[in-house]
């Protein structure tokens, strides 16, 4: 990609930005555009980056195999759709919808063809278990751990429910342009995202997190929108075993 077109909509640029498909110079240019953008446009950009990165963070390829023909066919269909739409709609306005449609087609094709597993609760929808049920369960133990920079996190852990109720107290807001992101870390494995936290859950409304065999729950400070993997050391790590 050459220098960015100044007429590109900033939300359009959220896709290559989130996928790290820009050069350092282009990334700096996007961040300058973001700094000058109105609040609504900036919020749309950050929301798109967050959604793309959370989708990437929750997908793990279980087999490293060459992409099959279905993926190439899906890509071609997406490109054909883009060409058809661009012929009747200004590209600036059409691009976000086209890219979202293309991404959806490709993710579905890849998932079906090469076996992508999406992190999910083995026992059902996380919404079926409430924070109060976790905290009241017979096997639940509760730990409160200090957070680097101030405040603390309280985690109620139930292995029988495969869930934790997480809340924070007196933890300062993330710095400008940064966000908090929670991670689940399996024994000897790589962290995977448990969510980007624009607002930290407080004691009156704990967040329910599925444990899925993780041995540690951690929190780090990441770029706005979150990251596919931690880019900083955790400011708190809570053992779950």
What b/e readout covers 85-117, taking b as 16+ CB neighbours within 10 angstroms? beeeeeeeebbbebbeebbebbbebbeebbebe
CB contact set of 131 (below 8 Å; sequence gap of 6+) = 156, 165, 205, 206, 207, 208
Q: Determine contact, residues 65/114, Cβ cutoff 8 Å.
A: yes
pLDDT tens profile 38-87: 888 888 888 887 777 766 654 433 333 444 455 455 545 555 554 554 44
Domains, in order of start, for the chain:
10-58 (1.10.10.1320), 131-239 (2.60.40)
pLDDT of residue 54: 64
pLDDT of residue 74: 52
pLDDT of residue 8: 54
Structure token pair of residue 202: 């407080």
- Stretches where the chain sits below pLDDT 70 are 1-8, 54-127
CB contact set of 70 (below 8 Å; sequence gap of 6+) = 109, 112, 113
Distance CA 24, CA 179 (A): 21
Q: Determine contact, residues 175/210, Cβ cutoff 8 Å.
A: no
pLDDT of residue 52: 74
Structure token pair of residue 38: 């109105």
- Other C-beta atoms closer than 10 Å to the C-beta of 223 total 18
Distance CA 169, CA 147 (A): 9
If DSSP states are collapsed to H, E and C, what string results for 93-115? HHHHHHHHHHHHHHHHHHHHHHC
pLDDT of residue 26: 84
Q: Determine contact, residues 168/152, Cβ cutoff 8 Å.
A: yes
pLDDT of residue 227: 92
Identify which of 40, 13, 45 has the alpha carbon closest to the alpha carbon of residue 29: 13
Q: Which residue has the tokens 């920079």?
A: 149
pLDDT of residue 47: 80
């Amino acid at each position: 990609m050459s220098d960015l077109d100044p007429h590109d909509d900033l939300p359009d640029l959220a896709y290559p930005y989130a996928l790290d498909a820009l050069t350092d110079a282009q990334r700096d240019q996007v961040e300058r555009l973001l700094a000058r953008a109105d609040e609504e446009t900036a919020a749309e950009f950050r929301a798109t980056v967050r959604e793309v990165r959370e989708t990437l963070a929750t997908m793990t390829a279980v087999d490293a195999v060459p992409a099959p023909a279905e993926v190439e066919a899906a890509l071609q269909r997406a490109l054909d759709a883009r060409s058809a739409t661009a012929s009747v709609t200004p590209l600036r306005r059409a691009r976000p919808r086209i890219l979202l449609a293309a991404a959806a087609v490709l993710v579905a094709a890849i998932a079906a063809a090469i076996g992508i597993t999406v992190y999910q609760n083995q026992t059902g929808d996380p919404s079926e278990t409430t924070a109060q049920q976790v905290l009241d369960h017979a096997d639940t133990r509760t730990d409160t751990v200090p957070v680097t920079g101030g405040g603390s996190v309280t985690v109620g852990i139930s292995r029988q429910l495969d869930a934790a109720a997480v809340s924070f107290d007196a933890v300062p807001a993330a710095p400008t342009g940064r966000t908090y992101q929670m991670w689940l870390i399996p024994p000897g494995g790589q962290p995977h995202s448990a969510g980007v936290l624009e607002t930290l859950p407080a004691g009156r409304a704990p967040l329910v997190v599925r444990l899925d065999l993780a041995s540690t729950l951690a929190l780090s400070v990441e770029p706005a929108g979150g990251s596919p993997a931690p880019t900083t050391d955790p400011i708190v790590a809570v053992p779950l075993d």
